Amino acid sequence: MVLKNNKKARMMIRAGILVGGVIFLIVFISNFGLVSTDDAYVEGRIHPIASKIPGTIKLVNVKDNQIVKAGDVLVEIDPVDYELKVAEAKASLDTRKAAFEQASLDKERAEALYNEKVVPKERHENVLTAFNLAKGQLEAAEAQFKIAQRNLEYTKLRAPSDGYVTKKSVEVGNQIQPSQPLMAVVPNDMWVVANFKETQLTRMRPGQKAKIRVDTYPGKEFEGHVDSIQRGTGSKFSMFPPENAAGNFVKVVQRIPVKIVFDKGPGEKYPLSIGMSVVPKVKVR
């Protein structure tokens, strides 16, 4: 009875070792040639929205985190002052046009009389000077009119691309100044910046396949590939880059940013936000 139990125990131990070995072999094969890092995050473009002109906010057409399309009007500045400036510039332009037309007629008459030697050279030169002055004033008035029209167009702030409204900080009635940040638009085009150790980049090349796990969606893997490798370590682009020639040198393994793009966007089912933590695995063999 004891022998039978011992034999059964040995068989169970052998079976457990065999199963463990198979599992180890599967894990080893599946991870063979993969390099990964948890120092990675989702990155994307951020379009700041700011005004080019001062004014009072008349309308805010969007809410926090709203989806917008390129060209949508996000904010409207009260246009009354700028409409009056357009009207003023138009009146000035009309006046300068009339003065230029009169100067053109005077120039034609003066040239005809001067060629017939009816008027002296001095008077002819005075007419030409008046013509050139009227021409310059007309060009200046045309430029002022275009500026007034452009400033009127600037009263409507439009979305530069498709995306989501973020960091909205403007409300109706706010007095704003040029370059004052009002909100930002984040497009759907996102990628991963993975800071791999320099020792992990020996065989890494653009185009290699990658699997991306986002901490927000455990158990879900996204397909991607290496787009490019930054030609410089992260520390060299920091505010205070290291000066290895000064003081005692201590060798530290550097990290180099690698851009990994999604082969297919996660879509609405798995929305991403800039800054999300991810774990990419790149197949380097």
* 164, 166, 169, 172 alpha-carbon torsion, rounded to 10°: 10
Element spanning 99, H or E: helix 80-115
Domains, the chain? 34-45+187-283 (2.40.30.170), 79-154 (1.10.287.470)
pTM of the shown model: 0.76
- Cα gap 129→139, rounded to integer Å: 15
C-alpha count within 13 angstroms, C-beta hemisphere, residue 248:
1
Per-residue pLDDT of the chain (285 residues; tens, 9 = 90+): 544 556 666 666 766 676 555 554 444 444 457 999 999 999 999 999 999 999 999 999 999 999 999 999 999 999 999 999 999 999 999 999 999 999 888 888 877 776 777 668 778 778 888 889 999 999 999 999 999 999 999 999 999 999 999 999 999 999 999 999 999 999 988 999 999 999 999 999 999 999 999 999 998 999 999 999 999 887 777 777 777 666 666 778 889 999 999 998 777 789 999 999 999 999 987
At which residue do the structure tokens 């002109």 appear?
53
Asked whether 5 and 249 are in contact (CB, 8 A), the reply is no
What are the phi and psi torsion angles at 263 (to 5°)? -70, -35
**Residue type (1 letter), 145:** F
User: Cα–Cα distance between 96 and 102 in angstroms, integer?
Assistant: 10
